[in-house]
Structure 1
């Protein structure tokens, strides 16, 4: 018996796509495993920047005074500066340069975009890290994100046999001990999404 080539090609393509999707789902499931994969350090939001204005300046015309307008109302001076913002948003830093010999002000010598929104964050908070048996602990991950991933899932493993999903969770420990509560993120997308993204924090439960 012969099968039409077009029909056979369609079936082969369907099976290939199905196998690829199944394999991707299996890898994502493995990446989200809360027990077999070790966690790295927290990846918190970054609000601080270090900037160096010297590479963009014509050194022979110096010396200079460097004046940085950080975009949040703060002005700093010096060839290199460090600054921590209070809000996670986008800023544009303006560097003005003053020629010390002549007093000439070169405004907008350099503009530097600071994007504090486009960054991966793998971290969570707990209402307390020390509690007594029977007292609830609240957990939250308001800023956790993986920019290149979609259909994100957030998994909490309390290390006492309880596993729940969601951005927030509340849990009551029934036995005394030290529990390394693990927060895991998994999603679909690039290879970076398939990899495991998790962080753990210790909760001490007293009798």
Structure 2
């Protein structure tokens, strides 16, 4: 892979956002001056999944301030053809929660289904496709995407607003949860991120929303 592997320390991931904010004043003070290699490494350890040769060259070429501004506008950063092609092969990422439930949900939930251990085992194995696609997409973006700050924040918020793939239909919805409830909002308003995560079916299942009723309610 052209961008190389990046370290993914859990401690770093959890505190990436706070570390980035602490580092910004000193990094911005460099302005358009030639950027020392040490400062570049420091920047990429804070705002990315660590330095690669390509990214070090890029920061040294455009300067710290422009790099930070660039990372804060990820939609304006073109993704590599290789990344787009490989993500396009992950078919389950294209499905919405309803389609995922219909195609990969437990067979026992289907009207008129008669218990069939072999079919149910095969269906459970098919669900692993979703988990593999979600994991592969997450890793591919971390390794190949030049939108590094976005990927760091996706990782941070996905761990913060976590759901458990072993609970209910969350194994079916976990990939869509990252795609639709986390990724679009990581560099926007916190209230939008909070609303999206709390309304996604994966979080509703994780929090046992169906069992949550107010006193005196008809639920």
TM-score category (smaller protein): under 0.3
Q: TM-score, normalised by structure 2?
A: 0.21
Greater strand percent: which structure?
Answer: 1
Q: TM-score, normalised by structure 1?
A: 0.22
